[in-house]
Chains A and B, each alone.
Chain A
Amino acid sequence: MLTLANIDVVYGGVIQVLRSANLEVREGQMVVLLGANGAGKTTTLKAISGLLHSDHGAVTAGRITLAGQDITHADPADIVKAGMVQVLEGRRVLEHLTVHQNLMVGAHLRSDRAAVKADLEKVYNYFPALPKLLDRTAGYLSGGEMQMVLIGRALMARPRLLILDEPSMGLAPILTQQLFQTISRIKREEGLTVLLVEQNARSAIAQCDYGYIMEGGRIVLHGSRESLEGNQDVQEFYLGMGAANDRTSYREVKHYRRRKRWLG
């Protein structure tokens, strides 16, 4: 459904952040993109959604296609129309609007009123706490409530591909778990394709069908959930299992990082 082929992204004409990144999201899959801070995950998502421009970034090489359609340099509005919506990182609700208005902004491209109303009911079904918050100013909600509004707002656009950038950031573990369960349920019931960027690797890998690992602007490893869970490096670096626990000093960790298997 979504393919990135050899994507390079440069900020400000000089800083190269993505180097020949390749990624594929198949229809109906939940794909997770993992990586340390600064690995280029958010840049990858912004490249896909056409949002690099506001950060003075640009795709300088490669091709991004959505359902066969080239969207490499497409306008964000056209990308949303084509069926892809991104929930940005950092809980960007429209702070001074009410929860209801936030949800309706999600449906601003749709004129089918009856279907919009039905979708609103669906969102309430996935997030039963929302109907009580409809008249509240979104900026004053709690983090968990904001995340519900954001995912609900994205669903109101009726996307085929939903992109989530670190939805669990700043949430309590129990909320994170509930959030991932709801995302899984939405994916299953709506036949949605999901691309997820996460720091919370354990929860993310447990829910995904396929995963990519990024480092230094490159995809360094990818595979199915089973292969990622079985991979020794993933276990040690992202799931906190195995030999990593024995290392006590930074020097040892640094030494170990140098011989990461996927870097050859």
Chain B
Amino acid sequence: MINLIQILIEGALVGLVYGLVAISFVVIYRASKIINLAQGEVVVVGAFLLWTFTAGAAAAGYPIPLALGLLLTFAGCVAFGWTVERTIFRPLIGQSAFTIFMAGVALLILLRGLTQLIWGAQSRSMPVILPEGALQLGPFLLNTRLLIGAVFTVVLTIALHAFFTRSRLGLRLAAVAEDHTTAHSLGVSVRQAIAVAWILGTMVATAAAVVLLSGSILSLEVAVIGFKALPVALLGGLESIRGAPLAGLIIGIFEALASAYLDPLTNGAASGLLPYAAMIAVLLIRPYGLFGWRRIERL
């Protein structure tokens, strides 16, 4: 029993980190109606920026204090998110969904190549940013890094929900998420809203990189987190900020259970397969996800 609860806790914590990446999908999708397939690569770029301004700078003989390094990383994210929106997706506003989807695929390949070109293919060790170790809670052990990440995800979800429902900028983004023409008629700059969404999405993806990779190994394979978080975003509903961490919990727990009980019987395939099986099941039953925007039809 204790073993089962431990598995559930670990699954929940990992799931909330998936939820964090899923939030970055949602923030971008709401404004631009783009499911950014390259979101995993965006996490990798954020991670490499983080490495550059921490371990990389120290190795080159210019040590930067951690706080400043983080600040520079997020400044880099802002520039990166803005550049992607400006150069690739802004010119495509009004084009067909297929064109935009293909641009997403192109961005994925482009970012993979560029990352390798700039930082090389070798693995790097990331500095320890979040405390290592585990918290003892009765008979259970909670990974401190994941626990901080999970708490951060929950706090960020509450903050983003308040931002989208109360603040003026958030309401602008919400209006753009609903309908570009209506937003235009109300004087909302759709371009500005989409740019803000990309910047915000990139920053959230980089925050996920901090949680995932603190004290760990950074390589190009980290991008796979994007495809792990995509079913989470779809399950939660692509427009729902609050749906992302909840769906993360569901997928995380199922993955952990499959990993513990089914993987030994399936040569480790079950836990890898499960999120995608869940994604297909969700798309068949609730195409808009658990908490996504259902199309309101008036008859």
Report A's interface with B, CB cutoff 8 A.
49-51, 54, 75-77, 79-81, 85-88, 92, 94-97, 101, 104-109, 111, 139-140, 153, 157
B174 within 8 Å of A (CB atoms): yes
Chain A residues whose C-beta falls within 8 Å of the C-beta of B179 in the assembled complex: 92, 94
Separation of A104 and B188 alpha carbons in the complex (Å) = 13
Separation of A101 and B168 alpha carbons in the complex (Å) = 10
29 contacts between A and B (CB under 8 A): A49-B185, A50-B184, A51-B184, A54-B180, A54-B184, A75-B189, A77-B188, A77-B189, A80-B186, A80-B187, A85-B186, A86-B185, A88-B181, A88-B182, A94-B178, A95-B178, A95-B293, A96-B296, A97-B174, A105-B171, A105-B175, A107-B168, A108-B171, A108-B187, A109-B187, A111-B168, A139-B296, A153-B186, A157-B187
| Chain B, interface SS category | helix
Encode B109-125 as 1/0 by CB contact (under 8 A) with A: 00000000000000000
Who on chain B is nearest to A170 by CB? Answer: B298
Q: A109 CB to closest chain B CB, in angstroms?
A: 6
Interface pair A94/B174, CB less than 8 Å apart = yes
Who on chain A is nearest to B295 by CB? Answer: A95
The contact of A94 among B182, B184, B187, B239, by CB within 8 Å, is B182
Who on chain B is nearest to A139 by CB? Answer: B296
Separation of A95 and B165 alpha carbons in the complex (Å) = 14
Given known A-B contacts A105-B171, A105-B174, A108-B172, A85 and B187 have beta carbons under 8 A apart: yes
Separation of A255 and B181 alpha carbons in the complex (Å) = 40
Q: A24 CB to closest chain B CB, in angstroms?
A: 22
Interface pair B171/A51, CB less than 8 Å apart = no
Chain A residues whose C-beta falls within 8 Å of the C-beta of B182 in the assembled complex: 88, 92, 94
Q: B115 CB to closest chain A CB, in angstroms?
A: 35
* Total A-B pairs, Cβ < 8 A: 76
* Closest A-B pairs by Cβ, 10 of them: A80-B187, A139-B296, A94-B178, A92-B182, A77-B187, A76-B184, A96-B293, A77-B189, A105-B171, A108-B168
Chain B residues whose C-beta falls within 8 Å of the C-beta of A106 in the assembled complex: 186
Separation of A96 and B164 alpha carbons in the complex (Å) = 12
Who on chain A is nearest to B172 by CB? Answer: A108
The listed residue with most A CB atoms (<10 A of its CB), out of B178, B180, B184, B239, is B184
Separation of A86 and B186 alpha carbons in the complex (Å) = 8
Separation of A105 and B168 alpha carbons in the complex (Å) = 7
Interface pair B187/A81, CB less than 8 Å apart = yes
The contact of B174 among A54, A86, A101, A111, by CB within 8 Å, is A101
Chain B residues whose C-beta falls within 8 Å of the C-beta of A107 in the assembled complex: 168
The listed residue with most B CB atoms (<10 A of its CB), out of A51, A94, A107, is A94
Given known A-B contacts A51-B181, A54-B181, A95-B296, A101 and B165 have beta carbons under 8 A apart: yes
Separation of A88 and B185 alpha carbons in the complex (Å) = 7
Q: B174 CB to closest chain A CB, in angstroms?
A: 6
Given known A-B contacts A94-B179, A101-B171, A108 and B165 have beta carbons under 8 A apart: no
B65 within 8 Å of A (CB atoms): no
Given known A-B contacts A96-B178, A101-B171, A108 and B186 have beta carbons under 8 A apart: yes
Given known A-B contacts A92-B182, A105-B175, A140-B296, A54 and B189 have beta carbons under 8 A apart: no
The contact of B186 among A50, A75, A105, by CB within 8 Å, is A105
Q: A137 CB to closest chain B CB, in angstroms?
A: 8
B94 within 8 Å of A (CB atoms): yes
Separation of A101 and B171 alpha carbons in the complex (Å) = 7
Chain B residues whose C-beta falls within 8 Å of the C-beta of A77 in the assembled complex: 187-189
Chain A residues whose C-beta falls within 8 Å of the C-beta of B172 in the assembled complex: 105, 108
Separation of A47 and B160 alpha carbons in the complex (Å) = 36
